[in-house]
Amino acid sequence: MILSQNITVEKVWQLLENIYDPEIPVLSVIDLGIVRDVHLIKHPSNKEHIKVVITPTYSGCPAMDVISMNIKMALLQSGFKNSKIIQQLSPAWTTDWMTEKAKEKLKAYGIAAPLGKSFDKKHLEELKVECPQCRSKSTRLLSQFGSTACKALYQCNDCKEPFDYFKCH
Amino acid sequence: MKLTSTQVSPSEGFREAFILHLADNSLILGHRLSEWTGHGPMLEQDIAMSNIALDLIGQARNFYQYAAELINASKAPSFARPDDPVRRRESLSEVRLPEVTEDTLAYLREAKEFKNILLTELPNGDWAKTILKLFFFSTYQYFLYQKLIHSSDKQLSAIAEKSLKEVTYHLRWSSEWVIRLGDGTDESHNRIQTALDEVWGYTGEMFIPSDYEMQCAQTGIGVDVNLLKNDWDKKINEVLMEATLLSPKGERQGVRPIHNGKQGLHTEILETLLKEMQYLQRTYPGCEW
C-alpha cells in the first residue's frame, strides 16, 4: 500500500489511467479526456489533500457520479483519504479531447469513433461513418440518439449490423 | 420596479429568481418528456426522447446547484460575524433555515414557486404535440444560450456553453420530426396542424420578460428575451414552411399571449405533474436510493 505521504501528482495521473467509464468500460477517464487537472494541496498543518478536476461529458450523464465515486475510492485504496473531486463545466468537454488511443479502443470495442472536430459544424450533417464490424463506409443513421446520450445509432448497409457511433460533441 | 408583481420574495434576489426560472423550464419539460419513456412509438424514438429528457434534467441540476449555492450564501452572513452587535442581534432573532439543495428546490417547492413558462408544463398530448412543444422550446433555448454564454456571471456562462451543445441536437432532431409529420401522411399532417393551433398561443410568453429577467439583462447577467424573437420567428417559419404547415391561425400579433408562468401563476395541470414528481420526497423526506 502506498502511504499518503508518498502521493504525487504523477501517481494520481497514473491511478486515473485505471478508472474506466462505467458505460464504455474500455475507456479510462484519461482516454475520454475528462480529467482537467490534478492538484496536491498542502495545508499549513502539513496535511495534504488531492483535488481532481473533471468535466462532465453531458449535463445529465449518470456516469459522472459513478466516475467521481470511483476516483475517490481508488485514491482511498491507495491510502489517500483526503480527496475532492470537483466538476467543472467550462470549458465544456468536447470529443476533441479524446485521445487517438481512445478512438482505436472504441473501434475495437465495436463503437465507431467521433469524426471531425467539434467546432466544425459538419458533425451535424450526414456523415460517412465507418462500420466498426466490416469497415464498410456505406452506413446510414438510424437515430441521432443511441444507447447513451453520447452515442447515435447507425446501421451498416453491407453487413447489416446496427452499431453505436460516438457523436462528435 | 415593483417587487410585488412577482413571486420573488425579498430574500430571493433577481439573480436567484432568474436561475430558478431557467432551471424550472428545463426540469418541467424534461419531466414531461420522460413520461414517454417506455411509451415511445418505436424503440429508437423512445430512447431519443428519454435522452433529451435526461439532458434537460441534467441542465436543470446545474442551474439548481448554482441557485442553491447563491441562496445559502445569501443567508450565511448574519451568522458569520458574531462580533458585530447589530448583525448578532439579527442572527439571534433569525430562525436558522435548513440548507437549500438542488433536491429541495426541485422536490419541495410548491407550484406557485415554480417559474417555468406554461409551454413546458402543458400535457404531452399525442406525439405531434410533444414534438412541437419540444421544437418551440429547443429553438428558444438555442438562441437564449447563445447569448447567455456572454453573461457576466461565469457560472451561468459555463452552464450555457455546456447546454448549447446538447440543445443543438435537440433542435435538429425535433425540426426533422416537425417536417416528417407535417409533410407526411394526411393523418400526421392534421395532427401536427391541430397541435400548432393549440400550442401557438403559449409561445409568446417566452419573449415577455419578467422583472427578474429584465433586471438580469440590464446588469449583464441575463438576456433580453425580446431580442430572441426575430431569430426564433425566422427559424420557426423556415421549418413550418418546409413541413407544409399553415401559419398558426390569426398570426401571433392577433393572439393574446397566454402567460404568467414566470410569475408563478400556472395552469392546474402543473399541480398534477408536481404531485407525481415530488411524491417520493414528500412521502419519505430525505429518502435516497
Cβ distance of A89 and B159 shorter than 8 Å? yes
Q: Which of A69, A93, A117 is the last residue of a domain?
A: A93
- Whose cell is 433536491? That residue is B103
Give the tens place of pLDDT for each residue, B14-49: 999 999 999 999 999 999 999 999 999 888 899 999
Cβ count within 10 A of residue B181: 24
Residues of B whose CB is below 8 A from A143: 44-45, 47-48
pLDDT along chain A (169 residues), means of 10: 67 94 93 94 85 92 91 91 91 91 93 81 69 93 86 94 90
Q: What domain range is A52 assigned to? A: 9-93
Of B44, B58, B173, the CB nearest to A59: B58
Q: What ipTM did this prediction achieve?
A: 0.82
Q: Which of A78, A93, A108 is the last residue of a domain?
A: A93
Contact partners, residue B94, CB within 8 Å, separation at least 6: B78
- Are A154 and A132 found together in one domain? yes
- Best of B29, B54, B66 to substitute, by most chain A Cβ atoms within 10 angstroms, is B54
Residues of chain B with pLDDT under 70: 1-12, 76-97, 249-256
- Are A74 and A119 found together in one domain? no
Report yes or no on A1 lying in a domain.
no
Contact partners, residue B228, CB within 8 Å, separation at least 6: B140, B143, B144, B147, B206, B207
Give residue B148's pLDDT: 98
- Are A15 and A53 found together in one domain? yes
Report yes or no on A81 lying in a domain.
yes
Report yes or no on A4 lying in a domain.
no
Interface of B with A (CB under 8 A): 44-45, 47-48, 51-52, 54-59, 61-62, 154-155, 157-159, 161-163, 165-166, 168-169, 172-173
Contact A88, A55 (CB under 8 A): yes
Cβ distance of A143 and B169 shorter than 8 Å? no
Interface of A with B (CB under 8 A): 56, 58-62, 88-94, 118, 124, 142-149, 153, 167, 169
Give residue A81's pLDDT: 87
- Are A31 and A83 found together in one domain? yes
> How far is B5 from chain A, CA to nearest CA, in Å?
33
Contact partners, residue B220, CB within 8 Å, separation at least 6: B151, B152
- Domain edges within chain B: 3-76+98-283
- Are A21 and A56 found together in one domain? yes
Contact A122, A150 (CB under 8 A): no
- Are A78 and A137 found together in one domain? no
- Are A41 and A73 found together in one domain? yes
Residue A73's domain is classified under what CATH number?
3.30.300.130
* Nearest by Cα to A98 from A85, A86, A115: A115
Q: Which of A93, A127, A155 is the last residue of a domain?
A: A93
Cβ distance of A90 and B157 shorter than 8 Å? yes
Give residue B75's pLDDT: 78
Distance of CA A134 to the CA centre of its chain: 25
- Are A102 and A139 found together in one domain? yes
- Are A88 and A122 found together in one domain? no
**Total domains present in chain A:** 2
Architecture of domain B3-76+98-283: Up-down Bundle (1.20)
Give residue B284's pLDDT: 92
Report yes or no on A104 lying in a domain.
yes
* Nearest by Cα to A33 from A106, A82, A83, A84: A106
